[in-house]
Structures are given as C-alpha cells and as structure tokens.
C-alpha cells in the first residue's frame, strides 16, 4: 500500500466513523454530572496497529514510515497516523499504548486503553504466522480484565475499534492463487468476526466500531497487472460482497441486543472517495494506485 495515500484515506474514513461512534458517548454519566473517563480498546490489523509488531520483523519500523507523524518510524503502517490515532484524537485522549510495548501496567500507560492490533493479521492465521490473530488479541484483553486492570464502569463507558482489512483473503490467494474458495471463506471470516465482537461486547463495552474492507482491487499488488492504472474489478466486487454480508450481520447483532452497540465503518467508500479526489497541490501523489515504497510480504493491510 502506498503509505501516503493510505493515511489520507484513513483520515476520511475516521471522519465517517466519528459521526456515529461518538454518538451518545457518556450520555448517562454526563446527565449525572460525572466525568466520563474515555477509554479505547483496539483489535485487528495494520489499519489500527500503532507499534505491536517486533522491530526485527516489520518494515513499519523503518523509513519512510512515520515521516509526517511522529517524524520517525513508530511501528505504524503509514507515513503518519492510522485509524486508531484519529479516533483517539476525536475522543480527546492519547492514542492507546501498544500491548507489546507495555513494560508495566501503571496508570499512565493504560489510562486511555490498550491497542492489541497487529499488522498483517486476521480472524484466522495469516502469513504473519508468529503474530496473534484477533481471537488471541482478545485473549490478551481477557487476561487483563480477569486481573481487574479495568473497573466495570471503565469498560462500560469505553469504545472498541475492530479493524479487519482483508489479510485472511490475501493469505488464501497467496496460498491457492484462485478465487474459487473465497465465497466460502468469506462466510467463515464474517462468522468468526461476529463471534469475536460478541465476545468483546460481553465485557460490557457498549460501542464497538467494525471496519468493512477497503477496495482490495485497488491495492498495489492487485493493480500492478494494469501498471497501476486501474483497480482489479473482480477483487473490488468481492470486497463489496464482504461488506454487504458484514452489514447484514451487524444489523442482526444490533437487533439481537436491542441497542445500537455495533457500528459499521465504511473503508470501501472512503478509499474510493480519496482515489477520486483531484490532487494538484505540490507534494501530493499523482499515481494513487502505485506504491511509493517497498513493503513486506503479508503487510498490505
């Protein structure tokens, strides 16, 4: 992924999310005159990872990543901020500390939540075989909850961000080279994702934002066949079918809970909107589908 383009897309998508995620946040506490402690818990992949991958295995710790924020590589798969950072900024808190970077559980490091997301991962095992999938990330969170690191009132007033950008699918294509089994895999991926977000809700978290997947056909590895001139229509159609099925499940989850706990974050339209913007200002990318720099295998999302 071209990292400068990606952070711009993430900015647009986060704005779309914030209009819904912040809705009703802390209303009950505000009515009571109390101060709401804002806490953000993050699960998923590189669209949300702020530094969990080891420095020895990930290019996200090397230049040019991080050139616009924080000014040096920080483990983010972007030239600057990722989705987690924008949401935290909207909430008026610091971006949650990466779980793998925690040296202790003192108040300063965990007061704004924890980021469990690991770049390149999915709901199942991906090409990042040594990194925790989403189930394992939630297991880490479970361990902290069992230790009473967070009080029940902190959990009930918190927000969870769940990022799933398609690494399960790219892993399948890398291993099989065919679209044949993707429809069945899609159902399995979303069923597992639903199990995961239900589990997060069981921690009494009342706002859970779930990303759809971006237009996979516009990622550099898939637009390369057209010399980065056009997106791959077949992959984009698949992305849309994933997102439609996901939204149906989110609707069902909210119906089941009789409350709008689960929010859909539309990365697909955000990316398409960004790609359509006519960028003429100096310094902007002109080849939006072309990677600006090298990337590591399995780290596209």
203-235 pLDDT tens trace: 999 999 999 999 999 988 888 778 788 899 999
Q: pLDDT by residue (tens digit) across 132-157?
A: 999 999 999 999 999 999 999 999 99
- Token reading at 260: 């709008």
**pTM for this structure?**
0.87
Which 3 state secondary structure label does DSSP give 115? strand
Give the N- to C-terminal CA distance of the chain in Å, as an integer: 8
* Buried-exposed string 174-188: b where 16+ CB fall within 10 A, e elsewhere: eeeeeeeebeebbee
pLDDT at 280: 57
Mean local confidence (pLDDT), 179-187? 95
CATH topology classification for 3-276:
Rossmann fold (3.40.50)
Mean local confidence (pLDDT), 291-297? 57
Q: C-alpha distances in angstroms, 106 versus 98, 103, 151? A: 14, 9, 14
- Decide: 98 and 112 in contact? Cβ < 8 Å: no
- Token reading at 57: 């295995």
In this predicted structure, the answer to whether residue 112 has a pLDDT above a threshold of 80 is: yes
How far apart are alpha carbons 215 and 208 in whole angstroms? Answer: 22
Strand order in the sheet with 97-98: 97-98, 113-115, 40-43, 159-162, 207-211, 262-265
Q: Where are the domains of the chain?
A: 3-276
Confidence grade of residue 284 (pLDDT, cut at 50, 70, 90) = low
Number of C-beta neighbours around residue 125 at 10 A: 17
């Amino acid at each position: 992924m071209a990292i400068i383009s990606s952070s711009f897309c993430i900015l647009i998508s986060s704005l779309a999310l914030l209009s819904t995620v912040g809705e009703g946040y802390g209303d009950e506490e505000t009515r009571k005159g109390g101060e709401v402690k804002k806490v953000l818990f993050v699960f998923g992949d590189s669209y949300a990872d702020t530094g969990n991958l080891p420095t020895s295995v990930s290019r996200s710790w090397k230049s040019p990543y991080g050139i616009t924020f924080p000014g040096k590589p920080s483990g983010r798969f972007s030239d600057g901020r990722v989705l987690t950072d924008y949401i935290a900024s909207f909430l008026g808190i610091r971006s949650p500390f990466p779980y793998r970077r925690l040296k202790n559980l003192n108040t300063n490091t965990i007061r704004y939540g924890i980021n469990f997301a690991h770049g390149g991962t999915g709901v199942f095992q991906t090409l990042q075989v040594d990194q925790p999938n989403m189930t394992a990330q939630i297991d880490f969170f479970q361990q902290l909850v069992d230790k009473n690191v967070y009080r029940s009132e902190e959990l009930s007033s918190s927000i969870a961000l769940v990022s799933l950008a398609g690494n399960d699918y790219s892993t399948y294509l890398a291993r099989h080279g065919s679209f044949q089994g993707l429809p069945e895999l899609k159902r399995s991926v979303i069923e597992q994702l639903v199990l995961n977000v239900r589990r997060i809700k069981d921690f009494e978290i009342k706002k859970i934002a779930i990303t759809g997947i971006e237009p996979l056909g516009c990622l550099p590895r898939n637009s390369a066949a057209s010399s980065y001139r056009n997106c791959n229509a077949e992959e984009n159609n698949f992305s849309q079918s994933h997102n439609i099925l996901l939204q149906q499940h989110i609707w069902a989850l909210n119906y089941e809970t009789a409350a709008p706990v689960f929010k859909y974050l539309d990365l697909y339209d955000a990316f398409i909107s960004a790609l359509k913007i006519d960028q003429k200002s100096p310094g902007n990318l002109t080849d939006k589908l072309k990677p600006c720099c090298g990337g590591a295998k399995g780290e596209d999302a």
